[in-house]
Amino acid sequence: MNKIRTYASGKKIWISINKTSDSAGRYVAYAIIGTLEINHPGKTFLLNSECLEKANHGTIARFFDKSLLLLWPDGVKRENVLLFVTDAPPYMVKVATSLKLLYANMEHVTYLAHALHRVSEEIRKYFPLVDEFISNMKKVFLKAPSRTLIFKTFAPDIPLPPNPVITRWGTWINASLYYCEHLSSIKNVLKELSKEEATAIAKVQDLIDNQTLKCNLIYIKTNFSSLPESISRLETLDLPLKDYKNSGRFTTENSTI
């Protein structure tokens, strides 16, 4: 903690507060701070973590003050807190609004990467056929070494199908782009599998002949292919602020959202 205090001494900072839950279902809040510096990226530190009975605007506001008191035990330097970075649930917005009365220089901003992830989630809802295909393709090849061997035999020049995880931002869009690019090769592989072996195989064999699936994949690639790249860039540590802004502009200009 002394190293953090020494480095942050006299510097303007941003603070981010997030919450998660542990294996026992308890809410865990953690505070991350970073220094705002002119000629180079500032340093980032995990400042505090704490179990909370519940996650609401009151508990988060108290955790915010307690965390900054760790950084400045002789008195919180409120004028040095310039940014409060969070996700966008209503209680976080309420926290930021109330704290603004005490931290006059502080601006509240929400994660652009999180916003783009939510856009990706909405896109998935509009393409149920693609979602069903991706989900069942995952079932066909996950933990199935014999089918994986068939895939490598009949499609040796392309990577194995991706395993998108909804909570991992942008992976569903990436999976859609993969299938758009390799649909004909995937079809050749599926011909070698028996639909009697698994329900998922029968489903994807039927879906891959559906012209609507192909049209949907092309539409996703044409309009939303920039989203995963933008999310990855925004998650990059120590990316300069101008590059964050450029990532948002790139997404807007290259996506039909």
Domain ranges in the chain?
Answer: 2-110, 115-254
Q: What is the mean pLDDT of the chain?
A: 88
pLDDT of residue 109: 87
What CATH number should be reported for the domain whose range is 2-110?
3.30.420.10
End-to-end CA distance of the chain: 44
pLDDT of residue 252: 52
The yes-or-no verdict on residue 254 having pLDDT over 60 is no
pLDDT of residue 255: 54
Q: What is the dihedral of CA 42, 34, 84, 29, to 10 degrees?
A: 160
| Cut 0.75: pTM above it | no
The yes-or-no verdict on residue 246 having pLDDT over 60 is no
When pLDDT is averaged across residues 151-156 and rounded to a whole number, the result is: 96
Return the structure tokens found at 252: 């807007």
Poorest-pLDDT segment among 25-39, 105-119, 182-196: 105-119
- Beta strands of 37-179 (E only): which ranges? 44-52, 81-86, 107-110
Confidence of residue 118 (pLDDT cuts 50, 70, 90): confident
Higher pLDDT among residues 212 and 256, named by residue: 212
